[in-house]
Amino acid sequence: MGEHFGVATFFVFCLLALSANAREFRITARPGSDITGELSKLFKEACQCVDKSTVLIPKGEFKLGEIEMMGPCKAPIIFVLQGTVRADGNVNGKDFWVAFRRITNFRLNGGGIFDGEGNASWRANNCHKTSLTQCKRLPISIRFDYITDGKVRDITSLDAKNFHINVIGAKNLTFEDIRIVAPEESPNTDGIHVGRSDGIKIINTNIKTGDDCISVGDGMKNLLVERVSCGPGHGISIGSLGLYGHEEDVTGVKVVNCTLRNTDNGVRIKTWPSAACSTTASGIHFENIILHNVSNPILIDQEYCPWNRCNKNKPSSIKLVDIKFKNIKGSSGNKDAVKLLCSKGFPCKNVEIGDIDITYNGKDGPATFQCSNVSPKLVGKQCPKACSSPVTKLPGH
């Protein structure tokens, strides 16, 4: 009977809040406090309200431990972060710090900062040097799992221990005006990783980090990346694909009107040789890309095998179809301006190269354009001349 009384009392509270036009669930702890428990309680309460509600973290700095905010909720949720939340140094807990899961009609905004406090933890991250099954996985800063009809706007992710933002199972989710910051030497700090989702937009976002600015995993459909500034970092990457069995196709990726500065790679697609699956990546379109001192500006790498963790003698079984690189201009940080290294087993199909103008002024120049197992369709100007250079191996291959 007590349980029924509690539910009824909370329902009345929500109705009173609505009648007073005050559907706000606000953190009341003082700055400097640990708000993990209070935030968990407030989110659960807001999630049970029958009309739209707001969860608010006000200005100030707060401590925040691992927290999972789980739907489904009875009505739309707005999560407003005005202050700064700081993670602790724990690297032995769950695989995430903050997780938003199974919420429909979700909004996150407010101009605040998620500070992952990764500096002390990066030396424990050896995943870029060893087998993924053996390395110590550090927590992802912010997870968005199975979010439907959501928008994340005007937030900052600072110094993530691992990925800054990870998206899986989402439908119609937009990221806009996001700021992502971590040192160039921070390992595995991908800016935004998306996979197994449909209808994701990443717009007007600034990413400076130690790994891929944006990385696209298997199962991604209908992704738009527009007006993104990337650098430092490892560029904008489709993949790597083919490391695991039961991966799903990637289709419909548009990367347009983006700028890359001082990155280790530009726009690239990477798949593993001796892949554990046979999937297809298709409808991938890079257009209107500006480069400033970008190494490997345009890259298809179907021999991706960092730290020799695969059988290079078996060609990649990932099929690449309908790929376009158009109007990509600027300066390269090395002579390998364009490398299209496709699979011997499944050569790339319907690759179009249009209006490429990439310069390189290094002493070992001039810039090169290499092709392997691909016959691209050429449109407009090509500088350097398409497929005119002998194929060389990438560093680390």
Contact at 8 Å (CB) between 323 and 302? Answer: no
Tokens standing for residue 103? 């919420």
Is there a catalytic annotation at residue 397? no
Catalytic residue among 4, 128, 234, 246: 234
Q: Sign of the C-alpha dihedral, residues 161, 167, 173, 176?
A: positive
Are the CB atoms for 357 and 337 separated by under 8 Å? no
**Which of 238, 150, 231 lies closest to 195, judged by CA?**
238
What is the C-alpha separation between 83 and 147, in angstroms, rounded?
Answer: 23
Strand 336-341 to 298-301 pairing: parallel
Alpha-carbon span 208 to 336, nearest angstrom: 23
Catalytic residues: 234
